[in-house]
């Protein structure tokens, strides 16, 4: 019997998350499905196959900063059992998810959080899910989710949740 993780797509859906749309679909009209309200969002990997990291990031050079990091840094942060790769918050989900998507397309957009995502081969196939948080502060929901993630994964942050 397979263990049900709190941070698997099925558990997230059961907890009220919607979407789970690939970045490639967001870029071709799927963004209209994302509500423009406060909330939290996750980026998940649908595949459980081997991971391949790119030498050079496909992310944008915001303020002239190359988002590329050495592959060894990515390998050290990778968590084999985790479907969730990134947890974020937004005052306006549609706008923030669009910024993340545009950054991943190489645009110089101010969304360096999550930048490790764009050194994954096939990053356009990563899925984005979201949860509207009416009446709740998205930052507090994000903090709670990150704490729960660390609890489930031995104190480790999601792969692409990095500071700076």
Q: What is the mean pLDDT of residues 123-147?
A: 95
Task: Note the pLDDT of residue 5.
Answer: 59
| 157 is a domain residue | no
57 contacts 66 by C-beta, under 8 angstroms: yes
pLDDT of 66 > 90? The answer is no
Q: Does residue 46 lie in a domain region?
A: yes
Query: What's residue 65's pLDDT?
Result: 84
- Is residue 164's pLDDT more than 60? no
Asked, for residue 63, whether it belongs to a domain, the answer is: yes
Q: Above pLDDT 70, what percent of the chain?
A: 95
Residue 105 has pLDDT above 70, yes or no: yes
What's the pLDDT tens digit per position in 14-39? 999 999 999 999 878 888 899 999 99
Q: Domain for residue 164, yes or no?
A: no
**Does residue 78 contact residue 51 with C-beta atoms inside 8 Å?**
yes
Domain that holds residue 58: 9-152
Average pLDDT over the chain reads: 89
Q: Is residue 158 part of a domain?
A: no
Residue 128 domain-assigned (yes or no): yes
Angle, CA 118 vertex, CA 114 and CA 124 arms, to 5°: 110
What are the structure tokens assigned to 155, written together? 């104190």
Taking residues 83-87, what's their average pLDDT?
96
The span from the CA of 84 to the CA of 21, in Å, is: 14
58 occurs within a structural domain: yes
DSSP 7-23: TSHHHHHHTT-EEEEEH
Least confident of 80-89, 101-110, 116-125: 101-110
At residue 110, does pLDDT exceed 80?
no
- Asked if residue 4 belongs to a domain, the reply is no
Q: C-alpha angle with apex 75: 74 to 78, nearest 5 degrees?
A: 85
């Amino acid at each position: 019997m397979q263990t049900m993780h709190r941070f698997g797509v099925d558990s997230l859906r059961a907890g009220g998350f919607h979407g789970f749309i690939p970045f490639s679909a967001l870029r071709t009209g799927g963004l209209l499905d994302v509500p423009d309200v406060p909330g939290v969002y996750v980026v998940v990997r649908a595949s459980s196959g081997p991971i391949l990291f790119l030498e050079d990031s496909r992310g944008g050079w915001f303020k002239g900063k190359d988002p590329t990091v050495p592959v060894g840094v990515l390998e050290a942060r990778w968590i084999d059992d985790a479907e969730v790769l990134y947890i974020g918050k937004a005052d306006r989900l549609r706008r923030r998810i669009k910024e993340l998507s545009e950054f991943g397309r190489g645009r110089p957009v101010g969304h360096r959080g999550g930048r490790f995502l764009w050194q994954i081969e096939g990053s356009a196939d990563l899925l984005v899910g979201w949860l509207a948080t009416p009446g709740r502060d998205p930052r507090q929901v994000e903090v709670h989710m990150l704490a729960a993630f660390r609890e489930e994964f031995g104190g480790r942050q999601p792969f692409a949740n990095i500071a700076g």
